[in-house]
Amino acid sequence: MVALVVMLCYALARHLTSPLRRLRSAVDRLGRGDLTARAEESRKDELGELAGSFNRMADHIQTLLAAERRLLFDISHELRSPLARLSVAVELARTDEAGAPPRLDRIQKEADRLNSLIRQMLEITRTEGEPSHLRAEPLRLDELVDGLVDDCSIEAQAHGCGLDLESSGPVTLDGDSELLRRAIENVVRNAIRYAPQESKVEVTLDNGGGWAKICVRDYGPGVPQEALPRLFDPFYRVEEDRDRKSGGVGLGLAIARRAVELHKGKLRASNASPGLLVEIDLPV
């Protein structure tokens, strides 16, 4: 009798807790960005009603996000057309007038900034897409970083600073090469932007413990301690005037963070005294 009671209690506990476990799994998937996550609604009791409420909430969130992305893409497309015509008009005005006035350069500069803003907004919208759409394939991270540093060295020379890479050897992982390249490039270019002249931007790549670690350090002024938690938020700028002069709009590091998170990695920043240290951890 005791054994029978124990077995019945165990079966009852499994009957009550199994839908809760499945619901928790669906909640976790939705929290990680999988908008297709849904709970099973086969039960006719309160747990089934709870699963139905969760599914309706997930449907609503998916619809809202899809509508938001469509709106952003449509607005970006509509804005690019007049900006392209504006750039053509500026070039025509330059050829028609001998010694084009400086205001034409100003108009062209603002048009270029708007084009850059639209491009970055589209990039961050794409990286906010569903993780299931991630094009993961085996890639050599060391080769990707090496090529990226080589490409950015020209920008570093123009800024008057150096760019050094130290790699521990071959690193292979599964990921989207384009997304990872944009993420790392945004971090490196941000370091170059604020590096003092005749200083170095140091990039290191290490592999160990199942993780690849990319560190990017500059020797600039760093950022206030209270600004570190918000450094990777979209449109966040530490100093308005400094970012305006540099041409930044506060989206590069936000794109980097989302791309790293889609690869189940971690991105963090800390003051290195002097300079800023940004660390990217990716599972290998």
Question: Terminus-to-terminus CA distance in the chain, angstroms?
Answer: 53
User: Is residue 261 a contact partner of residue 149, using CB atoms and an 8 Å limit?
Assistant: no
State the CB neighbour count (10 A cutoff) for residue 242.
13
Residue with tokens 């899809």: 66
User: Is residue 257 a contact partner of residue 232, using CB atoms and an 8 Å limit?
Assistant: yes
User: Is residue 204 a contact partner of residue 166, using CB atoms and an 8 Å limit?
Assistant: yes
Question: What's the angle, vertex CA 192, arms to CA 247 and CA 114, rounded to 5?
Answer: 20
Please indicate whether residue 77 is annotated as part of the active site. Answer: yes
Measured CA to CA, the distance from residue 231 to residue 251 in angstroms comes to 10
Nearest alpha carbon to residue 219 among 196, 193, 246: 196
Structure-token pair, residue 116: 């850059």
* Burial class of residue 161, CB neighbours in 10 A (0-12, 13-18, 19+): buried
- Where b means 16+ CB within 10 Å and e means fewer, 51-77 reads beebbeebeeebeeeeeeeeebeeeee
Structure-token pair, residue 49: 């009603």
| 60, 77, 159, 263: the active-site residue | 77
Q: HSE of 127 in the Cβ direction (CA atoms, 13 Å)?
A: 28
Active site residues: 77
